[in-house]
Amino acid sequence: MEKSRIEYLLKKIEEQTSNAGEEQEKILENILKRNAETDYLNKFLHGQTDKQLFKKYVPVVTYEDIKSYIDRIIDGEPPNILTTETITEFILSSGTSGGEPKYVLSTADCSQKRTSIPMLMEAVMHKHIEGLDKGKGMYLLFSTPDFDTPSGLKARMFSSSYLSSPTFKTTLFKIVTTPIEIILSLNKPQSMYCQLLIGLIRRHEVLRIGTIFASTFPNCIKFLQDHWKDICSDIRTGHLSDWITEPDCRTPMSSFLLEPNSELADLLEPIFKNESWEGIITKLWPKAKYIDAIVTGSMSQYIGLIDYYSGRLPIISTFYNSSEACFGINMEPLNKPWDVSYTFLPNMAYFEFIPVDKESPQKAQKLHFNGVSNEESIEKLENGSAQIVDLVDVKMGQFYEVVVTTLAGLYRYRVGDILKVTGFHNKSPKFQFVERQNVALSIDRDKTSEGDLSKAIKAAEIEFEPHGFLLTAYSSFADTWSIPGRYILFWELKLRDSNTDRLKLDSNTMEQCCRRVEESLDFTYRLYRKMNLIGPLEIRVVKFGAFDELMNFFVSRGAAPLQYKTPCCLKIKEAIEILDSRVVGKFFSNGNLA
């Protein structure tokens, strides 16, 4: 990226964040002016465009509340029931954390905003890390098929929409090692193979390794374990493996596999043959300066795995984004993964925030606006002393649920993410991603959020780490069929110093892990557990690669590989069965809780 372009983009960020209040006013004003006559807004505002009336009468909603409008548009009704903007496509949210995918209307404006975020982030990265323009990034990126809806509009994942956008093709694509045809190929194994092969052939140009969400990494490591011999043989012979049959992958490869290169194959093979793969990423790509992957929220479970394979390269979570709206970017990219905050960009959407009492998270749930009249909902808010606040009015240290209003027909829409204010960049707040609100394990009155579970599992590290184990992935489900019900955790463990998948699990250690997790859960859990209203927590250790199969399952159901987030709590029977069929050891918490 040219210096002048970097400076221009950084200046833009400074301008916008310095005028956060004005930018937000402008955005809302514009949305109301353009969309006041839509069926939806008209129902509450009767054509008025006053901002205070909007706040007073338009209800705060969830997807379920507006689904009937969206379904009508999918079925072919004119989109002006929700927005007067021209709809270009439907964006599908990955849906792996909340159930079925959601359909979100998208416009040219949305797609421009979506693609501007990685550009802005690129400028921030250049500011913090020198010399990025001297090489490329091996970014593992995958596209998924789109499909037609009865309306004639296409539906696709936001990652696919982004990868085929003109901005990606003309600008960002220039920094990656792989040709666009391979990235856009719909055959994921063939695309992954070629992306890694090219990345290895161009290893001395690779200055960063990345993807979008960290959950792609275990998938990629497993793939390398299964395919490194073929990859080395292709490099040695200069001939692409015959199983790569897709023209989108095969044709561009001819520019990379020009002749046999036994020197490179001789160098790579011993690295792959090494019993331990600790730090393998830096051995394969010695000039890599950092790993670009989101490791906040539920993705934090991959920090250990990435640290292990990368030899502790910095891991950079670049942005916070969703299918519904873009939120913010990480202005201090070199912060440790646990200290990452995202600065909200006030020109992306109109943002409001529902205060959440983290001491009593149920309060946020109680403020449920489904179907209630707006007066009731406002009253509930005021009585619950949880006044919805604007972006510039959030308070340092306070937790909030984010609510968005967009030009594309979302009005006061609860995204379902809980965030914590950690500071301000100029006048725009910085938020730490805390958890998704609706993902929780619960047997009785206990409510364990994604964040609570992650902390409790982290607390158990001191039990298994001294034995050389690394937790590479986890998930869970609430077993409400047993009496009493209990929490079941699936853990994928591996030995730090070896690639063997035959683990010797010591029951004492594993039982201690169960206990540590239980002791680290909240007061209500422990109380109910002591009263035997919740049964002993169980850890089921699964074979290495089991979580890879879980991802394949969700991808086969339509999740985009790039947007896939390992569900922290499983609700789908088949998904539970996939992990259950790969269990190598079951361990229970025993004894009484302190």
Nearer to ligand AMP, 217 or 272 (CB): 217
Rg (CA), the chain: 25
- Binding to ligand AMP (CB under 6 A) within 498-557 occurs at none
**Which span (52-60, 320-328, 363-371, 470-478) binds ligand AMP, by CB under 6 A?**
320-328
Nearer to ligand AMP, 289 or 565 (CB): 565
Name the residue with tokens 């379920």: 64
Nearer to ligand AMP, 63 or 277 (CB): 63
d(CA 188, CA 192): 6
Neighbouring CB atoms inside 10 A of 423's CB total 14
- Is 297 a binding residue for ligand AMP by CB under 6 A? The answer is yes
For residue 103, what are the β-bridge partners? 92
- Binding to ligand AMP (CB under 6 A) within 149-168 occurs at 158
Centroid of chain to Cα 412: 22
Nearer to ligand AMP, 212 or 268 (CB): 212
**Which span (222-230, 321-329, 534-542, 581-589) binds ligand AMP, by CB under 6 A?**
321-329
DSSP element (H, E) containing 491? strand 486-495
Q: Which two tokens stand for residue 530?
A: 């002591």
Nearer to ligand AMP, 90 or 320 (CB): 320
Q: Select from 163, 315, 415, 460 the one that contacts ligand AMP (CB under 6 A).
A: 415
- Is 417 a binding residue for ligand AMP by CB under 6 A? The answer is yes
- Asked whether 320 and 114 are in contact (CB, 8 A), the reply is no
Phi/psi at 87 (5° precision)? -85, 130
Nearer to ligand AMP, 237 or 552 (CB): 552
Q: Which two tokens stand for residue 419?
A: 């965030």
User: Would you give the binding string for ligand AMP spanning residues 450-489, x where CB under 6 A is met?
Assistant: ----------------------------------------
Q: How far is the CB of 157 from ligand AMP (least distance, A)?
A: 8
Concatenate the DSSP letters of all residues of 501-552 into one string: ------HHHHHHHHHHHHHHS-HHHHHHHHTTSSPPPEEEEE-TTHHHHHHH
For CA atoms 582, 541, 550, 200, the dihedral sign is: negative
Q: Select from 35, 178, 317, 405 the one that contacts ligand AMP (CB under 6 A).
A: 317
- Is 94 a binding residue for ligand AMP by CB under 6 A? The answer is yes
Burial 30-52 (b: 16+ CB within 10 A, else e): ebbeebbebebbeebbeeebeee
d(CA 563, CA 213): 6
- Is 296 a binding residue for ligand AMP by CB under 6 A? The answer is yes
Nearer to ligand AMP, 192 or 415 (CB): 415
- Binding to ligand AMP (CB under 6 A) within 171-210 occurs at none
Nearer to ligand AMP, 417 or 511 (CB): 417
Q: Select from 143, 321, 449, 566 the one that contacts ligand AMP (CB under 6 A).
A: 321
- Is 566 a binding residue for ligand AMP by CB under 6 A? The answer is no
- Is 320 a binding residue for ligand AMP by CB under 6 A? The answer is yes
- Is 436 a binding residue for ligand AMP by CB under 6 A? The answer is yes
Using alpha carbons, list the distances in angstroms from residue 99 to 453, 475, 567, 572, 573: 19, 15, 10, 8, 12
Nearer to ligand AMP, 407 or 534 (CB): 407
d(CA 398, CA 430): 12
**Which span (226-234, 295-303, 424-432, 449-457) binds ligand AMP, by CB under 6 A?**
295-303
d(CA 357, CA 567): 24
- Asked whether 564 and 550 are in contact (CB, 8 A), the reply is no
Nearer to ligand AMP, 35 or 322 (CB): 322
- Is 576 a binding residue for ligand AMP by CB under 6 A? The answer is no
Q: How far is the CB of 173 from ligand AMP (least distance, A)?
A: 21
Burial 147-163 (b: 16+ CB within 10 A, else e): eebebebbbbbbbbbbb
User: Which residues of this chain interact with ligand AMP, rule CB under 6 A?
Assistant: 93-94, 158, 294, 296-297, 299, 317, 320-323, 415, 417, 433, 436, 563
